[in-house]
């Protein structure tokens, strides 16, 4: 009997030892994150989080991948080809309405970066009077084109007084070559790219013209939340830690980005990051913390998307976002 219990104890301690050994050597969870677009300094806080080891701290082995537009990113996350995605709120909402189980766990960019962009020399001050005789490049295959339609309507612009041309993906060269005098795009992309070429660029933000919209969000698949809510929490925490630190130390974030992407246009990258960081603020964020979002603002986004005919039917917005993983 004594021998027996000795054996039991021996086996017991060995087993505990083995479990402990397995625990310390357990591999970090492999998690993939698909961005909205190719790497740019708007993603600098993510590169900073990687460099600082924020993901490692949460036992996450991050596989970061560039994107090909938010519409592709939401499909990949919806189809579980990527665990997390970084994509615009409008595409998350439309994807959810189309049956993809998407949940935004943080609204990182709270403001709409769409703007009417032009050379300062074009002398556009008032959108109602100063567009006369101008040629405007519109990206018809982007939701920015639909926002422009909404602005034309809401501000009752005289559409006969200017010419609109399709200008997808080539706004900056069209502006510099004077093929167009103004264009609709993201000011932190096209506006600053224009500035980086040495041209004095200016813009009128659509947010200021009344199109208030959430922009880029961190999102995941509802099935992952159900299966592993702890991972979603840890991932969101590591991700947002990168953003909070970058807001305090933008230079470090820029350095982390440039180190990971040495061939980048450094002037453009340096111009872009501070503008992007500004977009993370809102009254709600001030009160409730970075990445927070409200039902009212998601509802308002949905209402605008339906008015712009980008979204065909309503969906239950309460299922599309969650603040639970920010706590």
Partner 1 sequence: MYRLTITAGQILVFVVFFLAWELIVDLLHIKPVILPAPSRIAEVAWANHELLLRNTWPTFIAISLGFLWAVATGFLIAVGIAYSKIIRDLTYPFLVTAQILPKIAFAPLFLIWFGFGLMPKVVIAALIAFFPVVINTAKGLTSVDSELLQYMDSLGASSWEKFEKISLPWAMPDFFAALKISITLAIVGAVVGEFVAAGEGLGYVINASNISLDTELMFAAIVCLSVLGVLMFLTIVLFERLLIPGGQQEGGVQATM
Which of 44, 49, 124, 174 forms a contact with partner 1 (CB under 8 A)? 174
Cα 31 to Cα 34, 65, 151: the distances in Å are 10, 11, 40
Task: Please state the closest distance from residue 169 (CB atom) to partner 1, in A.
Answer: 5
Which of 127, 170, 267, 285 forms a contact with partner 1 (CB under 8 A)? 170
Which of 34, 43, 146, 292 forms a contact with partner 1 (CB under 8 A)? 146
Cα 129 to Cα 123, 174, 262, 292, 324: the distances in Å are 11, 22, 44, 38, 46
CA distance 144 to 161: 21
Task: Please state the closest distance from residue 75 (CB atom) to partner 1, in A.
Answer: 6
DSSP tag of 326: G
Measured from the CB atom, the residue of 172 and 232 that comes closer to partner 1 is 172
CA distance 298 to 92: 11
- Binding to partner 1 by residue 310, rule CB under 8 A? yes
- Binding to partner 1 by residue 165, rule CB under 8 A? yes
- Binding to partner 1 by residue 74, rule CB under 8 A? yes
Cα 126 to Cα 97, 210, 270, 277, 307: the distances in Å are 37, 15, 29, 27, 25
Asked if residues 52 and 34 have their Cβ atoms less than 8 Å apart, the reply is: no
Measured from the CB atom, the residue of 61 and 168 that comes closer to partner 1 is 168
Measured from the CB atom, the residue of 171 and 271 that comes closer to partner 1 is 171
Measured from the CB atom, the residue of 196 and 277 that comes closer to partner 1 is 196
Q: Please name the residues in contact with 163: beta carbons below 8 A apart, sequence gap of 6 or more.
A: 134, 135, 136
- Binding to partner 1 by residue 38, rule CB under 8 A? no
Measured from the CB atom, the residue of 176 and 264 that comes closer to partner 1 is 176
Q: 78 to 137, contacts with partner 1 by CB under 8 A?
A: 78-79, 91, 94-95, 98-100
CA distance 39 to 272: 12
Summarize as ranges the residues that interact with partner 1 (CB under 8 A): 69, 71, 74-75, 78-79, 91, 94-95, 98-100, 140-143, 146, 165-170, 173-174, 177, 179, 309-312
């Amino acid at each position: 009997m004594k021998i027996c219990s000795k054996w039991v104890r021996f086996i017991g301690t060995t087993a505990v030892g083995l479990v402990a050994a397995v625990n310390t050597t357990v591999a970090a969870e492999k998690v993939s994150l698909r961005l909205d677009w190719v790497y740019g300094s708007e993603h600098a806080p993510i590169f900073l989080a990687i460099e600082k080891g924020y993901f490692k701290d949460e036992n996450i082995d991050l596989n970061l991948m560039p994107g090909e537009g938010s519409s592709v990113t939401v499909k990949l996350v919806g189809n579980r080809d990527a665990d997390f995605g970084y994509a615009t709120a409008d595409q998350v909402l439309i994807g959810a309405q189309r049956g993809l189980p998407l949940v935004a766990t943080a609204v990182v960019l709270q403001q709409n970066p769409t703007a009417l962009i032009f050379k300062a020399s074009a002398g556009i001050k008032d959108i109602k009077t100063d567009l006369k005789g101008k040629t405007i490049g519109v990206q018809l295959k982007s939701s920015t084109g639909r926002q422009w339609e909404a602005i034309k309507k809401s501000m009752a612009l005289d559409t006969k007084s200017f010419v609109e041309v399709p200008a997808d993906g080539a706004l900056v060269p069209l502006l510099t070559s004077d093929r167009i005098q103004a264009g609709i795009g993201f000011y932190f992309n096209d506006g600053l790219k224009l500035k980086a070429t040495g041209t004095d660029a200016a813009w009128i933000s659509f947010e200021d013209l009344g199109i208030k919209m959430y922009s880029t969000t961190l999102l995941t698949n509802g099935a992952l939340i159900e299966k592993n809510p702890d991972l979603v929490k840890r991932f969101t925490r590591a991700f947002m830690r990168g953003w909070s630190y970058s807001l305090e130390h933008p230079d470090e974030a820029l350095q982390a980005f440039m180190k990971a992407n040495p061939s980048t246009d450094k002037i453009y990258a340096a111009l872009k990051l501070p503008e992007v960081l500004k977009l993370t603020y809102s009254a709600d964020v001030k009160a409730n913390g970075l990445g927070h979002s409200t039902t009212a603002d998601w509802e308002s986004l949905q209402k605008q998307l339906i008015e712009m005919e980008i979204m065909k039917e309503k969906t239950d917005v309460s299922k599309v976002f969650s603040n639970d993983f920010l706590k």
